[in-house]
Amino acid sequence: MGLIRNHRLQLTRRQFFQISGLSGVSFLLGGCGTPSFEDLVGKLSEPLNQKVEALIFNPQKPVPEFPASEIQPEALIVNTFRATPIIDREKYRLIIDGEVNNPLSLSMAEIQALPLTSMIIRHVCVEGWAAIVQWGGIRLKEIITLAQPKANVKYAYFKSADGYYESWDIASVLHPQTLLAYQKNGEPLPIDNGAPLRLASPIKLGYKQSKWVTQITLASYLSPFKGYWEDQGYEWFAGL
């Protein structure tokens, strides 16, 4: 499974989560039992979980991408937890607020004026399926930099037009392959896939990659409301 160096077993983050399980129900990254026991385990293990995940995760290491010949146009399954929202693209604004020195309210025209980044990656769903997709958009790091986050920022919260909510660690947010995507396979992003803007990244499971993103709030603390699925027992970090 790993590389042996200096008589110590070295696991990549991807190998680690393959061992511990995609859903986070594992020997370290999750708890099980009655609701009260789960709450206790979650509170006790969360700081340890984050320390372990931070040690394994390399925030600057790019994930290998795929050639265009391997794109799977029909493989990306559309999942929504509510109805698909109706968004007026002309009135749409992306809000970046919270612990920042320069709060932003950006139109799609302003976002698309920023440098376009394209990547061909595998989208992995916790349900057990995957799809190789080409995403195009703006590196989230560039948007965050424009907002001038304060030095103590550790997390980002994402709100979506359909009421979905998520949170990420700031290191994953700033990864060079974390995008706010507005293209899919070289075409404008379909509304069912999250237009006008969605998260796309090869370092997180699919439920972390919010569609129809309308607001990003930067914070120094992790709220008890970590994410729609996480608040129902899914693993918070959900890295690959």
pTM of structure: 0.78
Confidence of residue 24 (pLDDT cuts 50, 70, 90): very low
How would DSSP label each residue in 9-29? EE--HHHHHHHH-TTS-STTT
CA distances 230 to 125, 130, 167, Å, are: 14, 20, 9
Vertex 168 angle, CA 30 and 90, to 5°: 140
- Are 43 and 31 spatial neighbours (Cβ–Cβ below 8 Å)? no
In DSSP terms, 70 is beta-bridged to none
Segment 125-154, tens digit of pLDDT = 999 999 999 999 999 999 999 999 999 999
Whether 162 shows a pLDDT value over 60: the answer reads: yes
- Which burial class, exposed, middle or buried, applies to 152 when counting CB atoms under 10 A from its CB (0-12, 13-18, 19+)? exposed
Share of the chain above pLDDT 70, in %: 76
What's the confidence (pLDDT) of residue 45?
47
Whether 10 shows a pLDDT value over 50: the answer reads: no
Segment 196-209, tens digit of pLDDT = 999 999 999 999 99
In DSSP terms, 100 is beta-bridged to 149
Q: Is the dihedral of CA 144, 238, 185, 161 positive or negative?
A: negative
Segment 29-78, tens digit of pLDDT = 332 333 333 443 444 445 455 556 656 767 678 899 999 999 998 899 88
User: What is the dihedral angle through the alpha carbons of 225, 226, 228, 229, rounded to the nearest 10 degrees?
Assistant: -130
Joined together, the tokens standing for residue 237 give: 């970090």
